[in-house]
Structure 1
Amino acid sequence: MSPTQPPASIRPSACPGLLRVVQALDGGICRIKLAGGVLSAGQARAVAHAAEHYAGGVIEATNRANLQIRGIGGSHPAMLEGLLAAGLGPRNSGGDDVRNVMLSPSAGIDPRMRFDTRPLAAQILHSLESRARLHELSAKFAVLLDGGEALAMHEHAHDVWLAPVTVGGQMWLGFGLAGCPGTALAAVAPPQGHALVIAVLERFLDVARPEQTRMRHVLESMSPQDFIAPLPCDLRLGPFPVQAAASDCLGTYPQRQAGQVFVGAAPPLGRLDPGMLRGLARLAEHFGDGTLRLTPWQSVLLPFVDAGDAATLTLELAALGLLCSSTEPLAGLIACTGSAGCKKGLADTKADARVLASLLPAPQAVHLCGCPRSCAAAHVAPATLLATSAGHYDLYLRDAGQPGFGALRARNLDLQAASELLARLPTEQHR
């Protein structure tokens, strides 16, 4: 799609995209889907320019390793043209919604990696963008590729996921449907990975009724075994266990490339301003390979940094206002847009999260949610504060035996009471 080519008709959806700006209380939202979460320094500057000149200057990191611009006012063709010129768009307009392939942010550089997912991701993305039938998928339908990295999101449920497993002493690609990596349903040899994913997507479109937009909806009336039975791939039936992964992405970590590290930092509560994003672009060029990697924890990695420069880079990141350690008060908190930008929000969750961070005696993993939709977190947090009114929340604790946010622990707490109760909870509740 050329920068000056007007987009073709885009199907209606409540989900923002690059080509579809969706209105919110604080203005329009434009979501920029990044291939593998990677953003070049030049692209970062293009996003900063767009946010500064055509919107309210608010840029958000999302839980699918993408970026979105908030507060867009009026017409936006010039903004779109600039983002397309920076290479941030799809090959064609019909493919924008379905570019939902998530990788580990350390794909290709993680020392524990068993399989480099990037070539497979590129194949899948090309098919998603170029095959017209796949454009029928929901804008929320998503694929996860796990390469066995130590740094990987294993709490984020996807419609299809792949991860390395051992079969007969060899590495195969295990896969599962409508869930998180844990135990693979079956496996294929790595060269069949692309064919498998496309076959699963085609099979989904063959059997799903119009109202069944996600894999979990289809599996409510069909077993996973029945779903995969007709797939034209050489399947080895499981179950196969998947290796667990870590989730602390702040700080400095060794790369598989000798003498190099990647450094992780997070914008507080997932929000950047144009100056912060430009600063990240400058640091990526000066200390790394000129790229940034967004993560599903609403943070960013700077890869290919010389190990001796990591401490200096960390100081520079902190000077930009980013969080560089999990010990910082805001590091464990997630908050949606809240009532400041969303009509459904019952409380100003972003502002309340900052107050809560100042009240907690130690950093804790807490999700502040303005309404039950849980837009800021695709997984269930150890503790969730669900807004009931301005400054007041119900507290839920994660419980595998309970649906939704978990077990209700207390109702209608103000922030002081919530902090006192959270501080008394056992440490294991917050892992």
Structure 2
Amino acid sequence: MPPDKAGIIPRLRPRSASPTQPASPLNERPLSTAKRPSACPGLLRIVQALDGGICRIKLDGGSITADQANAVADAAEQFAGGVIEATNRANLQIRGIGAQSGALIDRLLAAGLGPRTAAGDDVRNLMLSPAVGIDRQMVFDTRPLAGQILETLQRHPRFHELSAKFAVQLDGAEALAMLEHPHDLWLSAIERSGETLLAFGLAGCPTDQPLAAVKLADGHALVVAVLELFLELARPEQTRMRHLLGEFSAVQLLEKIGQRVALLTVDDWHRSPAPDALHIGACPQAAAGLVYVGAVPPLGRLDPAMLRGAAETSRRFGDGSLRFTPWQSLLLPNVKAADAAEVLQSLEQNNLLTNATEPLSRLIACTGANGCGKGLADTKHDARKLATLLPRALDVHLSGCSRSCAAAHRAPATLLAVSPGHYDLYFRDAAQPGFGALHARNLTIEAAATLFAGHSRSPLDA
């Protein structure tokens, strides 16, 4: 549909953007079952793996209070195997859950870590910047709009039909932002003539060319319109926006969206890539004299003592909260700059990595054969070995199978397991799907390390 002279695509048909039908109360929750089948764990659905059950705790904007962090640590210690993982969607999950799954869930619900409604647990998949509200580069604080979106996702029964993998990203143009994870719908803040707009796209990332934009006041209405349209058009087997785009063109979908929300053209806008490694170490916030401090649990895994230690540090030096990130790491916000060195030392004493030059801080590895029936190698063990052999910190992803559970984005280099201790090596290539271009087959970890050492200007350094 062509825009008018002001660059606005006219609204052809008004539509309610605030569905408020009540959903079932949380006390009607199931313990280990879901209203519809899904292989994804949730807080109310324990999914079994080789090392026991998995419970995924979805955090609003990745944020958790120190008291809630202690509740997670206690639950993992008392009712599971003590393994806590930071995920690549800025959530937490507990592994190794046995017969006491009901007690574990009740402990987490009592800490306020559950959904607004039982049926809304799966669909609260909204990614924000870990530095939301405090980033020096942000165009606006996305938290109020995020709260509206999360409330609607959880309380509108129709949206409970969405896949547990269906995800939305709300980007406030922060410097600290994961811009490589594909989302079914993404929104990114821009400024035009003193007004804040939200550029948006489907089945992609904020660094893609946007389809159009809306005024900030229409951001919630846009999300509702896109999700309702998806549910109206998608067949049951079409669970993601990319599946729908295989049947309808982006232009066709945009025209239908424009019948519900006023759209604007933004042909000349492009989101700049985020700086590297801003999630590790101390970084200034928007407010003078304050920093956030980022640390990485090795390979995304914490034990209860590590989580409790980080929580206590946040009480002593921050605002009593932690923020988890899509890099499987955590931040302590609102730390006085004068205290940054002491905070870093405290986190290091709790076995967290605080320096981006440490090879282990930049490696990603899935659960691997030790905990997953599909894993062909013990990726966690092999990643630790690789870290001792690398000449410098490199961004490498070790995946036990082709599903790439540990990395939602395409890493610069991927080692794909083919058998215990052996991997095929891929380098990222925008012209090729999946992991990228196959570079070498059946490498041992030692051979992979030697190869990386011999490629001082490899795609890893791009």
Q: TM-score range by the shorter chain?
A: over 0.9
Which letter does structure 1 place at the counterpart of 2:311?
A
1:427 CA displacement: 3.1
Question: Does structure 1 conserve the Cα–Cα contact (< 8 Å) formed by 2:77 and 2:304?
Answer: yes
- Which secondary structure state, in structure 2, belongs to the residue aligned with residue 342 of structure 1? coil
Question: Does structure 2 conserve the Cα–Cα contact (< 8 Å) formed by 1:155 and 1:379?
Answer: yes
1:411 matched residue in structure 2: 441
- 1:373 paired with 2:403, answer yes
Structure 1: how far apart are the matches of 2:194 and 2:351? Answer: 47
- 1:237 paired with 2:265, answer yes
Question: Does structure 2 conserve the Cα–Cα contact (< 8 Å) formed by 1:61 and 1:271?
Answer: yes
- Which secondary structure state, in structure 1, belongs to the residue aligned with residue 181 of structure 2? coil
- 1:181 paired with 2:206, answer yes
TM-score (norm 1): 0.98
Structure 2: how far apart are the matches of 1:377 and 1:162? Answer: 21
Q: Which runs of 5+ in 1 are unaligned?
A: none
Structure 1: how far apart are the matches of 2:367 and 2:62? Answer: 21
The 1:4/1:42 distance shift into structure 2, 3 A limit, reads farther
1:292 matched residue in structure 2: 322
1:185 CA displacement: 1.1
1:230 CA displacement: 2.1
Percent sequence identity is: 62
1:201 matched residue in structure 2: 227
1:41 matched residue in structure 2: 66
1:245 CA displacement: 1.7
Question: Does structure 2 conserve the Cα–Cα contact (< 8 Å) formed by 1:95 and 1:135?
Answer: yes
- Which secondary structure state, in structure 1, belongs to the residue aligned with residue 360 of structure 2? coil
1:136 matched residue in structure 2: 161
Structure 2: how far apart are the matches of 1:127 and 1:61? Answer: 26
1:6 CA displacement: 4.1
Structure 1: how far apart are the matches of 2:127 and 2:210? Answer: 18
Question: Does structure 1 conserve the Cα–Cα contact (< 8 Å) formed by 2:211 and 2:254?
Answer: no
Structure 1: how far apart are the matches of 2:445 and 2:101? Answer: 39
- 1:89 paired with 2:114, answer yes
Alignment deviations for residues 254-279 of structure 1 (CA, whole Å, 9 cap, x no partner)? 11112110000010000000000011
1:179 CA displacement: 0.3
Count, aligned residues: 431
- 1:10 paired with 2:35, answer yes
Question: Does structure 2 conserve the Cα–Cα contact (< 8 Å) formed by 1:383 and 1:395?
Answer: yes
The 1:70/1:388 distance shift into structure 2, 3 A limit, reads same
The 1:133/1:320 distance shift into structure 2, 3 A limit, reads same
Structure 1: how far apart are the matches of 2:66 and 2:302? Answer: 15
1:170 CA displacement: 3.2
Please show how residues 262-341 of structure 1 align to structure 2 within 5 Å: 262-341=292-371
Q: Which runs of 5+ in 2 are unaligned?
A: 1-23
1:163 matched residue in structure 2: 188
**Residue from 57, 73, 83 that aligns with 1:32:** 57
Question: Does structure 2 conserve the Cα–Cα contact (< 8 Å) formed by 1:3 and 1:81?
Answer: no
Which letter does structure 2 place at the counterpart of 1:185?
L
Structure 1: how far apart are the matches of 2:422 and 2:29? Answer: 46
2:453 matched residue in structure 1: 423
Structure 2: how far apart are the matches of 1:136 and 1:418? Answer: 44
Structure 2: how far apart are the matches of 1:116 and 1:72? Answer: 37
Which letter does structure 2 place at the counterpart of 1:24?
A
- Which secondary structure state, in structure 2, belongs to the residue aligned with residue 330 of structure 1? helix
1:35 CA displacement: 0.3
1:3 CA displacement: 7.7
- Which secondary structure state, in structure 1, belongs to the residue aligned with residue 359 of structure 2? coil
Q: What RMSD, in angstroms, separates the aligned Cα atoms of the two structures?
A: 1.4
- 1:62 paired with 2:87, answer yes
Structure 2: how far apart are the matches of 1:37 and 1:49? Answer: 19
Structure 2: how far apart are the matches of 1:91 and 1:275? Answer: 29
Which letter does structure 1 place at the counterpart of 2:231?
L
2:428 matched residue in structure 1: 398
Which letter does structure 1 place at the counterpart of 2:30?
P
- 1:215 paired with 2:241, answer yes
Question: Does structure 2 conserve the Cα–Cα contact (< 8 Å) formed by 1:284 and 1:302?
Answer: yes
- Which secondary structure state, in structure 2, belongs to the residue aligned with residue 241 of structure 1? coil
Alignment deviations for residues 33-79 of structure 1 (CA, whole Å, 9 cap, x no partner)? 00000010011011001100111000000000000000001141111
Question: Does structure 2 conserve the Cα–Cα contact (< 8 Å) formed by 1:148 and 1:243?
Answer: no
- Which secondary structure state, in structure 2, belongs to the residue aligned with residue 238 of structure 1? coil
TM-score (norm 2): 0.91
The 1:26/1:123 distance shift into structure 2, 3 A limit, reads same
- Which secondary structure state, in structure 2, belongs to the residue aligned with residue 68 of structure 1? strand
Which letter does structure 2 place at the counterpart of 1:225?
V
